[in-house]
């Protein structure tokens, strides 16, 4: 199937990044959200990020103007459903994603491919509740989308070859690299990454090291560009906790038990950069460790 138009559901950090790269790659993009304010903010963020790319010589000013012209926003679900490929990029809660797909189904074209940017939830289970499980798969971008080169492609048990090949073609057109993952909790990247972050939180919880020493040890001792606690704040502690719960529930192994300290931070509403406090406090000129 030839893909010409992309529907993006969710105008947050992941959704606006996906819309950005799709528009630059030449696709017509229709982006929606439950908030008009969120949509306007997303367009402003995309414009700012593209301008940064122009400044770095990655795209021309003409490329930027053309790409911005390919992005439209709407609060109308049927308009998004009439695209060739829909990418759901809402919050990492299964009931939210399911409600979105339920609302789309009556308006979809027969040939439209449905995908989800979930970082951990079962593709097979989400697909089974739609009218097209063979045309449903995981399309997991890394954050920040315009910068990160990897896309995880996850087939559900019913996903057919044509759907996979079509999505692989989209990844190629974006100039990114695909990694094919099987449909098990958290797939590849987060199956490995989140337990590492969780273990770093346990290391903090048990007093083995403080925030600064843990992040410094991993940056300088293993050459990671960001320490695990700094990275957790960047991802969002609520997202980290949600993925750990998916791993713990789906694999029934105690090694995936979320650290109580991670749960406590989320209960406090200290979710990282997006709330200005997490393992670091971002309200001043420089981030300050909170423990």
Beta-carbon contacts of 274 under 8 Å, excluding residues fewer than 6 positions away, are 13, 236
245 is catalytic: no
Of 229, 247, 238, 244, the C-alpha closest to 267 is 238
Residue tagged active-site, from 117, 152, 198, 230:
152
Beta-carbon contacts of residue 137 (< 8 Å; ≥ 6 apart): 113, 115, 123, 127, 153, 154, 155, 156, 159, 163, 164, 167
Cα 252 to its chain centre, rounded Å, is: 25
Q: How far apart are the C-alpha atoms of 85 and 216, rounded to whole Å?
A: 42
| Exposure letters 9-47 (e unless 16+ CB within 10 A, then b) | bbbbbbbbbbbbbbbbbebbbbbbbeeeebbeebbebbe
Q: Are 73 and 79 in contact (CB under 8 A)?
A: no
107 catalytic? Reply is no
- Told to judge if 223 belongs to the known catalytic residues of this protein, a careful annotator would answer no
Distance between CA atoms of residues 84 and 119, nearest Å: 22
Token output for 182:
């099987």
Query: Is 152 known to be catalytic?
Result: yes
**Active-site residue among 120, 190, 198, 230?**
190
- State the residue for tokens 């308006």: 107
Of 119, 120, 122, 198, catalytic: 119
Choose the catalytic residue: 88, 117, 120, 140.
140
Dig out the tokens for 118 from the structure: 């979930």
Q: Sign of dihedral through CA atoms 160, 161, 166, 169? A: positive
Residues with a known catalytic role: 119, 140, 152, 190
């Amino acid at each position: 199937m030839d893909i010409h138009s992309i529907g993006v559901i969710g105008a947050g950090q992941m959704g606006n990044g996906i819309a950005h790269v799709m528009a630059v790659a030449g696709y017509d993009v229709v982006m929606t959200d439950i908030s008009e304010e969120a949509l306007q903010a997303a367009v402003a963020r995309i414009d700012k990020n593209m301008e940064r790319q122009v400044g770095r010589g990655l795209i021309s000013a003409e490329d930027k103007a053309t790409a911005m012209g390919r992005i439209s926003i709407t609060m109308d679900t049927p308009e998004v459903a009439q695209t060739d490929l829909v990418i759901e990029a809402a919050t990492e809660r299964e009931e939210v994603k399911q409600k979105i797909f339920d609302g789309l189904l009556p308006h979809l074209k027969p040939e439209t491919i449905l995908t989800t940017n979930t970082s951990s939830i079962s593709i097979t289970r989400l697909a089974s509740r739609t009218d097209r499980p063979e045309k449903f798969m995981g399309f997991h971008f890394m954050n920040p989308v315009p910068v990160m080169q990897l896309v995880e492609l996850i087939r559900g048990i019913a996903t057919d070859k044509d759907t996979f090949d079509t999505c692989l073609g989209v990844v190629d057109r974006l100039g990114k690299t695909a990694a094919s993952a099987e449909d098990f909790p958290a797939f590849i990247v987060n199956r490995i990454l989140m337990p590492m972050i969780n273990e770093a939180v346990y290391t903090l919880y048990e007093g083995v090291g403080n925030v600064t020493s843990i992040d410094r040890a991993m940056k300088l001792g293993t050459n990671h560009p960001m320490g695990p606690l700094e990275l957790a704040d960047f991802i969002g502690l609520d997202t980290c906790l949600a993925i750990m719960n998916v791993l713990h529930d789906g694999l029934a192994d105690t090694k995936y038990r979320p650290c109580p300290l991670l749960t406590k931070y989320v209960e406090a509403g200290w979710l990282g950069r997006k709330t200005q406090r997490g393992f670091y406090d971002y309200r001043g000129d420089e981030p300050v460790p909170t423990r």
